[in-house]
Chain A
Amino acid sequence: MALLELDGVRAGYGQTRVLHGVSLSVGEGDVVALLGANGAGKTTTLRAITGGVRWDGIINFGGRSLRRATTESIVRMGIAHVPEGRGVLTELTVEENLRLGAYLRRGSDGVAKDYDRVFGYFPILRERRKLSASTLSGGEQQMLALARALLMRPKLLLLDEPSLGLAPLVVRSIFDIIRAINESDHVAVLLVEQNARIALELSSHAYVLEVGRVAVEGDSAKLKTEESVRRSYLGY
């Protein structure tokens, strides 16, 4: 049984339907990529999982249905969602953002060590920790969002376009860190990306959404090489 299962998920905003039956699964410790053009429904899929949009169908996490669960309780089950735009709390300092990452783990052991680990991955956050989060650059905010998600020690990490608006070098370093975390902590990752190339490198399995449906799915390694897929769906 996979950690995360979606089956025939339909979702939309008001009268506009965006997802028309999405099915995918993420196994424990897997890195899965969710690709597709702008507007295909990738962000909506992630939002459906964490309860940010009304949906129909089946979404199970660890065997439990997420149907009537509130966002807060879904998160407490072990899902960390870094939304489109990163969701950095700009009214607060960097340190306060991180403390909120550890909010659900107050008092449990290992939190202090996790802070060290996270600062190890992202030393700039330690430097800037007393400053307002609004002073960080785009790349730094992405690091903050990721660091915060790590502090939650989730079982599943949902990442919405982590590469958006970032310089290639920064993107590379962030993705290296994501890989490192996945390998060391066995955190499953569902990665939404428009940068298909780097997403396919990182992931083991991939789904391509088109207009609210899964158009193509398969092994990332294979999808990378299949030229017809690359041309039609991935733009390169």
Chain B
Amino acid sequence: MQEFLQQVLSGIASGGIYASLALALVLIYNAMGLVNFAQGEMAMLATFLAFTLIDHGMSYWIALPITILVAFGGGIVIQRVVIRPVERAPVLTLVIVTLGLATLINGLAGFLFGYLPRSFPSPFSVQTVSIFGAAASYQDLGVIGVSAVVLVLVYLLLQRTTLGLAMRAAAHHPEASRLLGVRVSWMLALGWGLASAVGAVSGIMVAPILLLEPNMMQTVVIYAFAAAVLGGIDSPLGAVIGGLVIGVTVNLAGAYAPGVGGDLQLAVAFAIIIAVLVLKPNGLLGRRATRRV
């Protein structure tokens, strides 16, 4: 039982990471109707920035907000420079652009930092504390805590502020929002910035576990994509739930299902999703395809 709880807790921790990245994917999907395949690479690059800052002596808790801010700005820049020229192109074209962006960023990271995996510091010790008799590491609890804080902040921003309202309006109804004076193009840019910032948190959280190197986020992105689809690609809350479900289930499958090793864990994730999609074709919390005005 204890071991089970441990696995669940560990799963929740990874789930938090997937949820954050999944949320970033959902934000952009809502704004543009496409999955940003560069999300993981952007997060990875931000994590490298944090690494560089910390390496030069900055405290973790100062490097973190700085990195988030820079990631925010970077997301805006990318939207303005790369995405806006192709805004009106067919969705597949935009998808290719994000793929190109992903390749570019990955290559850039390799160029700047090399491919040797590096260890990334974590402010949380690996000591464990006992919860209901199970040993939970501070590391896992810390990750859960940080992810939760980020997700709550994003929720508050989007749901409780006027700016968030304008962003949501611009994402779902660009034409009608223009007629209300909302600067839709800038709202999209902010959306990218926000997604990038959230992704950066995801990367920084996962780096101590996976070791920092340019290809670090690729598996994470796959899980996050799966989580977003599971929860319903247009539902932020769904992304969070999806992330947690995937995190826990994959962990448990890896621990308890016979023959399920590292490479088949992904298969497990996908099997779950496809099973869910058969029953609920729009994901757990998704709605019918939204038409945008």
- Judged by a CB distance under 8 angstroms, whether B280 is at the interface is no
Closest Cβ of chain A: how far from B32's Cβ, in Å? 15
A72-B182, A104-B181 as given contacts; A92 in contact with B176, CB under 8 Å: no
Beyond A99-B165, A103-B166, whether A72 also contacts B172 by CB under 8 A is no
Take A96-B165, A100-B165, A103-B162 as given contacts and tell me if A88 and B181 are in contact as well, using a CB distance cutoff of 8 Å. Answer: no
CB contacts (< 8 Å) of A152 on chain B: these are: 180-181
**Taking the nearest CB of chain B, how far is it from the CB of A84, in angstroms?**
11
Q: Give the distance to chain A from B33, nearest Cβ to Cβ, in Å.
A: 13
Beyond A99-B165, A103-B162, is A72–B173 a contact (Cβ under 8 Å)? no
Q: Which of B146-200 contact A (CB under 8 A)?
A: 162, 165-166, 168-169, 172-173, 175-184
In the complex, which of the residues B168, B175, B181, B184 contacts A87, with contact meaning CB atoms closer than 8 Å?
B175
Contact A103 B176 (CB under 8 A): no
CB distance A103 to B182 under 8 Å?
A: yes
Q: Judge whether A89 and B179 touch: CB under 8 Å.
A: no
**Given A100-B165, A106-B162, are A88 and B176 neighbors across the interface (CB < 8 Å)?**
yes
- Residue B125, interface by CB 8 Å: no
**Complex Cα spacing A179 to B181, Å:** 25
Which B residues touch A88, using CB under 8 A? 176
Write out the residue numbers on chain B whose beta carbons fall within 8 Å of the beta carbon of A235.
none
Is there an interface contact between B162 and A99, defined as CB atoms closer than 8 Å? Answer: yes
Shortest Cβ distance from residue A220 to the other chain B in the assembled complex, whole angstroms: 27
A63 CB to closest chain B CB, in angstroms?
21
**B119 lies within 8 A of chain A by Cβ:** no
Q: How far is the CA of A88 from the CA of B169 in the complex (A)?
A: 10
Closest residue of A by beta carbon distance from B179: A81
Q: Which residues of A contact B162 (CB under 8 A)?
A: 99, 103, 106
Residues of B within 8 A of A89 (CB): 169, 172-173, 176-177, 293
| Of the residues B165, B175, B178, contact of A75 by C-beta under 8 Å | B178
Establish whether residues A75 and B180, one from each chain, have CB atoms under 8 Å apart when the complex forms.
yes
- Give CA–CA (A163, B261) in the complex, Å: 64
Residue in chain A with minimal CB distance to B186 = A72
Q: Give the residues in chain A near B169, CB-CB below 8 Å.
A: 89, 91-92, 96, 100
User: In the complex the two chains form, what is the Cα distance from A100 to B166 in whole Å?
Assistant: 7
Across-interface contacts of B176 in A (CB, < 8 A): 83, 87-89
**A101 CB within 8 Å of chain B:** yes
**Distance A52 CA – B75 CA, assembled complex (angstroms):** 28
Instruction: Count contacts on A: residues with CB < 8 A to the other chain.
Output: 26
Q: Give the distance to chain A from B199, nearest Cβ to Cβ, in Å.
A: 24
Q: In the assembled complex, which residues on chain A have CB atoms less than 8 Å from the CB atom of B179?
A: 50, 71, 75, 80-81, 83, 87
> Are B175's CB and A91's CB within 8 A?
no
Is A126's CB within 8 Å of the partner chain B? Answer: no
Q: Is A148 an interface residue (CB 8 A)?
A: yes
A92 & B178 in contact (Cβ 8 Å cutoff): no
Assess whether A76 is interfacial by the CB under 8 Å rule: yes
Task: Across the interface, name the chain B residue whose C-beta is closest to A104.
Answer: B181
On whether A92 and B168 interact (CB within 8 A), knowing A72-B178, A75-B178, the answer reads yes
B219 within 8 A of A: no
Please, could you name 29 A-B residue pairs with CB atoms under 8 Å apart, sorted by A?
A52-B175, A70-B178, A72-B178, A72-B181, A72-B183, A72-B184, A75-B178, A75-B179, A81-B179, A83-B175, A83-B176, A83-B179, A85-B293, A87-B173, A87-B176, A87-B293, A88-B176, A89-B173, A89-B176, A89-B293, A91-B290, A92-B165, A92-B172, A99-B162, A100-B166, A103-B180, A103-B181, A103-B182, A152-B180
- A-B contacts besides A76-B181, A99-B165, A152-B181, 9 pairs, CB < 8 Å: A70-B178, A72-B184, A83-B175, A83-B176, A92-B168, A100-B166, A100-B182, A103-B182, A152-B180
Residues in A lying within 8 Å of B, measured CB to CB: 50, 52, 70-72, 75-76, 80-81, 83, 85, 87-92, 96, 99-101, 103-104, 106, 148, 152
B positions within 8 Å CB-CB of A: 162, 165-166, 168-169, 172-173, 175-184, 290, 293
The 10 A-B pairs of least Cβ separation, nearest first, read A87-B176, A91-B172, A71-B178, A75-B181, A104-B181, A89-B173, A100-B180, A81-B179, A72-B183, A76-B181
